[in-house]
Homo-oligomer: A and B are copies of this chain.
């Protein structure tokens, strides 16, 4: 949790502005003294805040050798890339040896292939092997999240032996929350929280006090499922096994907190047509490259819906106010669709809905759309009648709104469920398709009903 002891007061806060001034002007020794009492997380925040690469590197060099690797893990990905680029190979190797295996593997994975190879080749055999094993697993699986360091004892061991193992490993294994109990083939039999070790009576075996109801994942478990297990079972750490059930490593709760944030950010990005998560301070060129394809896709879909309007040029020429009212129908459908879509995408992401819920959800959403449609259709229709005094326009506006709310409910429920059923991501591009449908249907229902109305009563 907290780093080496230091005589800082409780509720201690960091004055980043003052520290940046020191980093920009003061001699090396003064800078070292200034950053020494910082929590690694605060040192990382300081480096993130600095704009100039040289000052960043200067602060990083001023960190104590055992603190620097942890700070490197905590800075933002872009800053980390820059710092790693500037580090000499020997310094980088020492840093990798100090990092937890999962963080070391992530760092190696973010480097250009050739540099990663040469750095790995120079690392001590066991360290390199451990990192290489972790690199085999995709980033978004339990294998990609786990660290290889854990504390385990064989069944039949005594509680004192388990405590001795914790003492021996404490220097090299980070965040020991539990001791795992395994058999000779390393199959997981149970788990012993540290509090359980402290409570046990002298001479008891671990078998007598361990929890046998172990929640575990395999290396292939998806990270969304991993997050769900942590949330559901209030876990501090989750053991990860190979496909045959042998213990390979564990995931700790602090990594899952990051996963939860990452998953939420991804869903946000996809729902709003960003494609994937976007760093706030990325360069305009990179930002354009990321956003342009989605705007381009949207240009295609909005052009499609605009062609629908083209079919009704005659109606618009005779009743120009229709051009104004049709935009209300389209926008309202889009808004209602995004409401439904958000509930669906979050429900699917958090495991609250599955494809088997399609029927009750669709019925509920159609009922909601019907209710909203009657209420707002009457409101908008009455408003239009009072403003423009044309009964036909008012009736058509109200009806078209009702139709478009129903279409919005239908597509915004069915598209994410279908994507999930196809094992695709329900968030990606869903909002583009939903608003395309509600635009097209909004224009079509309003202008279509109006055209029919004009023919019959006009």
Contacts and interface: CB of A to CB of B under 8 A. Distances in A.
Contacts of A7: 212
Given A211-B3, A439-B331, A372 B231 contact: no
A93 interface: no
A264 interface: yes
B272 A339 contact: yes
Given A320-B316, A335-B294, A254 B273 contact: no
A194 B191 contact: no
Contacts of A41: 232-234
A306 B292 contact: no
A328 B302 contact: yes
A411 to B, nearest CB: 15
B323 A309 contact: yes
Given A230-B257, A288-B372, A3 B350 contact: no
A295 B372 contact: yes
Given A280-B343, A281-B360, A191 B1 contact: yes
B214 A2 contact: yes
Interface stretch (A56-64, A128-136, A163-171): A163-171
A451 to B, nearest CB: 13
Interface string A151-183: 000000000000100110010000011100000
Contact of A372 (B292, B439, B443): B292
Given A316-B316, A343-B274, A295 B198 contact: no
A327 B346 contact: no
A121 interface: no
A10 B187 contact: yes
So how many copies of this chain end up in the complex?
Answer: 2
Contact-residue size bin, chain A (C-beta under 8 Å from the other chain)? 35 or more
A104 interface: no
Contacts of A18: none
Contacts of A177: 177, 236
Interface stretch (A20-28, A107-115, A140-148, A361-369): A361-369
A339 B235 contact: no
B257 A231 contact: yes
Contact of A211 (B1, B189, B271, B307): B1
Contacts of A213: 2-3, 5-6, 8, 12, 39
A269 interface: yes
Contacts of A3: 211, 213
B6 A212 contact: yes
Contact of A439 (B8, B191, B305, B327): B327
Interface of A: 1-3, 5-8, 10-12, 39, 41, 45, 163, 166-167, 170, 176-178, 187-191, 193-195, 197-199, 210-216, 230-236, 241, 245, 253-254, 256-258, 260-261, 264-265, 267-269, 271-274, 278, 280-281, 283-285, 287-288, 291-292, 294-296, 298-299, 302-303, 305-307, 309-310, 313-314, 316-317, 320-328, 330-332, 335-336, 338-339, 341-344, 346-347, 350, 352-353, 357, 360-361, 364, 367-368, 371-372, 375-376, 379-380, 383, 435, 439, 443
Given A1-B193, A236-B236, A317-B320, 20 more contacts: A1-B211, A5-B190, A10-B214, A11-B216, A163-B198, A177-B177, A194-B195, A231-B257, A236-B253, A260-B264, A273-B338, A280-B352, A288-B368, A291-B372, A295-B332, A295-B376, A299-B332, A309-B324, A316-B316, A327-B327
